[in-house]
Amino acid sequence: MKIRVFLAFLLVSALMAGTASAQSVISENVKIYAAAVVKDPLTAIAADYEKATGNTVTLVFDTAGATAQRFQADPQAALLITTVPLIRDAESTGALRDGTSTVLGSTVAAVAVPPKSAKPDVSSPEKLKAALLAAKRIAVSDPARGATVGTHFMKVIEALGVKDEVLRKTTFAPDGIATMRLVLDEGVDLGVSQSSEILQASPDAMAGPFPKEFALTTDFSLWHRNNMSPAVKNFVAVLTGPAGHGKLAAEGILPPAAR
């Protein structure tokens, strides 16, 4: 009888240990701060990863600049996706250290309009200027929050000599996703955003990229610490592998090899 009780005790202990071990495997959370430009593909990649591994992924999206700042301020953050220059600057100042960056892809600055509206020709500086002046309402991500396209847009309207006229009718959105929401849901005449943000919101909203004189191509990279947990390492492998690049490319993020 004592032997049976002892064996039963061992069996229960083994089961409890196995359950605890399984819980520790599936309980890790991978927290990622990412520029809004990759929202749709990254959300899809994270969902597939969660189903395959049992781990969870927390995604925080913002402008490129705000994303970098929030990542640095969060000790729980595991991965950062933002522009290559921001990562390089942070590495040079020591704000990011003991880590590795990998280029994920590129986007271009572009113009969006409500899908059912006539698409303006923005293929030259003169035509872009005319489109900006003709629009009654304009939306762009806020340069004060570190928006890459918003910062570039300020330089463009300055160079075109229409800064005062354009700013009077411009709404600064928190990020590119919010910019496209204003275009699609509130009928703002013209939005300026990353090409991928436009395509992810509605391919029919794309009017065209900025003219070559004002072209802006932005490279985005993934940054992670060299000392990664297995869960983070697995996510990085998925994101930077063929499946990850495929999802990014399908949502308008130009693969590095295509540059």
Angle at 105 between CA 103 and CA 111, to 5 degrees: 140
Q: Answer yes or no: do 124 and 210 share one domain.
A: yes
163 with 176, same domain: the answer is yes
CA 111, 125, 201 angle in degrees (round to 5)?
A: 5
Torsions phi, psi of 250, nearest 5?
Answer: -65, -20
Tokens representing 188?
């703002």
Q: Kindly write down the DSSP assignment for every residue of 43-90, as one continuous string.
A: HHHHHHHHHHHS-EEEEEEE-HHHHHHHHHT-TT--EEEEEHHHHHHH
178 and 240 fall within a common domain: no
Are 86 and 151 part of one and the same domain? no
Domain identity same for 200 and 123: yes
Note the pLDDT of residue 19. Answer: 35
pLDDT bin (cut points 50, 70, 90) of residue 113 is very high
- Claim to verify: residue 43 and residue 122 sit in the same structural domain: no
Q: Which residues contact 161 (CB under 8 A, 6 or more apart)?
A: 129
Instruction: Report if residue 6 sits inside a domain.
Output: no
Q: How many domains does the chain have?
A: 2
Residue 2 domain flag = no
Give a yes or no: residue 244 inside a domain. Answer: yes
Q: pLDDT tier at 14 (50, 70, 90 boundaries)? A: very low
Q: What is the pTM of this model?
A: 0.77
DSSP state of 229: -
Looking at the structure, do residues 87 and 128 belong to the same domain, yes or no? no
Same structural domain, 56 and 66: yes
Residue range 39-95, pLDDT digits in tens: 999 999 999 999 999 999 999 999 899 999 999 999 999 999 999 999 999 999 999
CATH of the domain at 93: 3.40.190.10
pLDDT of residue 12: 36
Same domain, 165 and 81: no
Domain coverage including residue 251: 28-106+218-258
Same domain, 123 and 102: no
Claim to verify: residue 234 and residue 246 sit in the same structural domain: yes
- The answer on 210 and 114 residing in a single domain is yes
1 occurs within a structural domain: no
